Structure 1
Amino acid sequence: MYCKLHERVALRGWKLVPYAYYIYGVEQAQGLTAEQFGLLSRCDGEHDLPDSPLLQRFLQAGMIRPCEKGERLDEWQKPRFYKNRYFPHLNWAITGKCNFNCLHCFMAADNAPMMEEFTWEQCLNLLDECVRCGIQTITLTGGEPMLHPRFLDIVRECEKRRLNIAEINTNGSFITEEMLDEFHALGMDVLIKISYDGIGHHDWLRNRPGAEEKAVRAIRLCKEKGFRVRVQTNVHRGNLDVMFDTVAEMDRLGVEEIRIIRTSETPRWKENGGDQCLEITEYYETMLQLMERLVKEDFRIRVDIWQFALFNPATGVYHYQPVQGQCGKYRDSTPVCKGARGTIAVAHTGELAPCNQLSGTFAKMGIRCGNVKQTPLSEILAGGDYLDMVTMPVTQVSAHNEVCRSCQYWKCCMGGCRAISTAFTGDFLHYDPSKCAFFKGGYMKRIDDVFAKAKRPYRCADDTGNMDRAGEKA
């Protein structure tokens, strides 16, 4: 029998992950045994394969299909092996330029305009490096990415290389019907993430009159054209009172998800925010109150409250966002940030950071761990400061913090978020104080109580073991 890989399946291998496959449009690669990889490697239309239980399993799963002898695989599908470590996703700020001057921009080290961007040659070089490293998924961001003079050319070059653009972060100003039509023509199933900071408050944070009108226009247009939209909403003391109405309006517009983000202690927000920044417990308390109202409605929108809770009315599932892993599956080798371990964050300057939220903070502190404009990405991912930072095990955090070593919540918290800990303390390895407030303050139990009173049934999908969700008394 002659068989061929499904058109969306590609075989891959990396240092320490020798046998794996990608499905186009799915970010993470899936591991295989040597036997499975060997059989799939022969599903190329050239080998006459004997029937076997494993072959039948792959046929039933749709990973392969019967074919005529001589049918060829696409070049993208053929087995490729990489000398670097496995990273599936690139979060790429193609430009620092922006038509707004946001008061909180986490990419910025100060209030100076960010004028640097990738040249066309640098863009092509980085995309070629993505192919050389086995990266499959791209997020385009900025600045405002659509301000890059070659934005659509970058999109086309990604698609030409079968690099899947999964997300575009934008303020929505430059989205047009023609652009969205081209996305469709290219076969893109892209999530468009549009900043919108609350009814009547968006212009202030974005520091531009008319910003709110442009954002709402873009949201409506994307939905009319059939694209998925996630709205990204910064919350601070000035717009707390419109959060419920903002969620309701986004639900009415058909937005799939809203992410509500505490406007945090980035260098630029420290300069501009005044007394508008919510204290951690103030943020938790007000978000609890918001959730209590939201779960009593018939909203369909998925709500992600940054570093606090996530819930989906469609599935009836909720999560505690500070829980970094399932307690029963804890390992000392777990990286300090799972997001950073899978996603390479590249700033408009070419500088790498564990995440883009740290880009401005690292620039302000003078911390450098690699630059893709100066060093090939494949070389950076083979070894060095950047790789050491993002593969660092959580045991280095516990070794650095006595309070973590004796904490009952360690296996769920694992020291918290590195971006928050660095912003609060200036120390990448310091424990995240916001997570101490969350776990010890009993917010898991209080979130449970909110969903116990919801209009529809919900269940928590997190494994917190025998830890006391009610917290610890001071």
Structure 2
Amino acid sequence: MFRISQFMHELARAEATGSYPAPMRRRSEGDGPGGPVVIWNLIRRCNLTCKHCYAFSADHDYPGELSTQEVFSVMDDLKAFKVPALILSGGEPLLRPDIFEIAERAKARKFYVGLSTNGTLIDEPLAARIHNHGFDYVGISLDGIGATHDKFRRLEGAFDKSLAAVRHLQNLGTKVGLRFTMTELNAHDLPNLLQLMRDEGVAKFYFSHLNYAGRGNIHRGKDARHLATRQALDLLYQTAWDDARAGGQHEYVTGNNDADGVYLLQWVEQHLPRWADDVRQRLITWGGNSSGVNIANIDNVGEVHPDTMWWHYGLGNVKARPFSEIWVDTSDPLMAGLKAKPRPVGGRCGQCMHFAICGGNTRVRAQQVTGDAWAEDPGCYLTDEEIGLAGSGDRVETTAFSSRRRMIELVPVESE
């Protein structure tokens, strides 16, 4: 996740004081190493069949899902491993009968607990239950206004139901965020959604680039083209900057394309050049993609993945082996590569002058399009000139999905 607002607030303070602020104290300093944030898909069943669903969810039960007691046992291991936050997701997590029992246990164990939902099931009574169980954050997906969202989510009336959920939770004081995944089918609605966020007083806006997993991989041919992506980021950065200068507390974040950090540096070089060196150093500290390092995923049947977009690649199952053991095992070649510093990324990404900022970007897109997890990321929207490779030649293109997946053997990476 790339926290645009954090950088914009630092820049606003720098402009006001004449000095770039010192970095915030990191959790690991003096506290020992911490575990990753875990996005936990507790259930695969969903009442929607969204075009970009990475889980291929549908409205029926799936066998082999973790029981309540198994969830509790895994949670104890996660706590001992110093996992700071659990994002409870699905499918649609509110379809799981024990979701509030799980949330109550997580809060009692002192996790930060988020809920990731499509919002269509949240009426006033359910909103009250969510609020009373103390979720720290509820993310609700809105992928357009009205019919655009309904088409994306494949349910007429979905927009109205999700917006009603936002309002129910807002009225109770629960922190709510809007989540938007952009493709060329809905890019035109981004300005309207940002205005909706402000009109409704929503605290957070999460802009997700399309990642090539599940139905999102099938529909990757409709991914937003690079110019539209840049225009969207221009709007997001200016919106976040205006909010920071005004002393606002809105959060604007992006996900699934770590080139956003490099693009922010270019924005700073254009608009606030005196702080460019400071921002570059802060971005290098951020380090870009954190799949397999600071972000983890456990799916509905207990399989562990480097993040939610790697459902086609399992690392081990918590029914057979503790998460804490699976996560540190670098005998798996993918995990060895993801944890390596630097990662063994080749091609255009490996030669990029900003590699230290984005870390090679998202490995899933590279693997899905080329069959090689360490090839260049075809979702990078930066030009060759911008990354110091003018005249370097042809790029990997985002081709339409084919059911014939190309795979290559992953070569183990030696640990330092």
Quote the residue 2:375 is aligned against: 430
Give the Cα separation in 1 of the matches to 2:53 and 2:34.
30
Shift of 1:163: 2.6
Shift of 1:251: 1.2
Give the Cα separation in 1 of the matches to 2:202 and 2:94.
21
Give the Cα separation in 1 of the matches to 2:237 and 2:288.
32
Shift of 1:204: 1.1
Give the Cα separation in 2 of the matches to 1:305 and 1:342.
16
In structure 2, do the counterparts of structure 1 residues 27 and 183 end up closer, same or farther at CA, with 3 Å as the change threshold?
Answer: farther
1:263-302 alignment, distance < 5 Å: 263-271=210-218, 273=219, 276-279=222-225, 281-287=226-232, 290-291=235-236, 294=239, 301-302=250-251
Q: Supply the AA of the counterpart residue of 1:304.
A: V
SS at structure 2 position matched to 1:438: coil
Shift of 1:93: 0.6
SS at structure 1 position matched to 2:205: strand
Point out the structure with max Rg over C-alpha: 1
Per-residue CA deviation, residues 321-351 of structure 1 (Å, 9 max, x unaligned), is xxxx9558969xx988435312321111211
Task: Select 2:94's aligned residue among 142, 146, 154.
Answer: 146
In structure 2, do the counterparts of structure 1 residues 251 and 336 end up closer, same or farther at CA, with 3 Å as the change threshold?
Answer: closer
1:134 aligns with 2:132: no
Shift of 1:433: 3.0
Task: Select 1:163's aligned residue among 101, 104, 111.
Answer: 111
Shift of 1:140: 0.6
Q: Supply the AA of the counterpart residue of 2:27.
A: A
CA contact (8 A) 1:87 1:344 kept: no
Give the structure with the larger strand fraction. 1
Quote the residue 1:304 is aligned against: 253
Quote the residue 1:393 is aligned against: 340
Task: Select 1:203's aligned residue among 150, 168, 178.
Answer: 150
Shift of 1:267: 3.6
CA contact (8 A) 1:409 1:439 kept: no
What is the percent sequence identity of the aligned residues? 20
Per-residue CA deviation, residues 426-461 of structure 1 (Å, 9 max, x unaligned), is 3222222333x415354xxxxxxxxxxxxxxxxxxx
Quote the residue 1:416 is aligned against: 361
Bigger RCO of structures 1 and 2 (CA < 8 A, at least 6 apart): 2
In structure 2, do the counterparts of structure 1 residues 264 and 395 end up closer, same or farther at CA, with 3 Å as the change threshold?
Answer: closer
1:182-201 alignment, distance < 5 Å: 182=129, 184-186=131-133, 188=134, 190-200=136-146, 201=148
- The more displaced of 169-178 and 137-146 is 169-178
Give the Cα separation in 1 of the matches to 2:195 and 2:292.
32
Give the Cα separation in 1 of the matches to 2:331 and 2:220.
35
Give the Cα separation in 2 of the matches to 1:291 and 1:376.
40
Root mean square deviation of aligned Cα: 3.9
Per-residue CA deviation, residues 255-275 of structure 1 (Å, 9 max, x unaligned), is 12222323343342344x385
1:299-448 alignment, distance < 5 Å: 301-306=250-255, 307=257, 309=260, 326-327=280-281, 337-359=289-311, 362=312, 367-385=313-331, 388-389=335-336, 392-398=339-345, 401=346, 403-404=348-349, 406-435=351-380, 437-438=381-382, 440=384, 442=386
Per-residue CA deviation, residues 130-172 of structure 1 (Å, 9 max, x unaligned), is 233232321111111111010111011112222331x210011
CA contact (8 A) 1:195 1:232 kept: yes
Could you tell me the TM-score, scaled by structure 2's length?
Answer: 0.71
Give the Cα separation in 1 of the matches to 2:335 and 2:238.
44
Give the structure with the larger helix fraction. 2
Shift of 1:28: 6.5
Per-residue CA deviation, residues 11-62 of structure 1 (Å, 9 max, x unaligned), is xxxxxxxxxxxxxxx9973332xxxx8xxxxxxxxxxxxxxxxxxxxxxxxx
Task: Select 2:178's aligned residue among 225, 231, 235.
Answer: 231
Q: What are structure 2's unaligned runs of at least 5 residues?
A: 1-23, 273-278, 393-416
Give the Cα separation in 1 of the matches to 2:385 and 2:159.
36
Quote the residue 2:15 is aligned against: none
Give the Cα separation in 1 of the matches to 2:327 and 2:221.
41
- The more displaced of 372-381 and 95-104 is 372-381
CA contact (8 A) 1:122 1:373 kept: yes
Shift of 1:173: 2.3
Aligned positions, number = 349
1:222 aligns with 2:166: no
Give the Cα separation in 1 of the matches to 2:138 and 2:301.
23
Give the Cα separation in 1 of the matches to 2:177 and 2:105.
25
Could you tell me the TM-score, scaled by structure 1's length?
Answer: 0.63
Quote the residue 2:193 is aligned against: 246
SS at structure 2 position matched to 1:224: helix
1:89 aligns with 2:37: yes
CA contact (8 A) 1:93 1:141 kept: yes
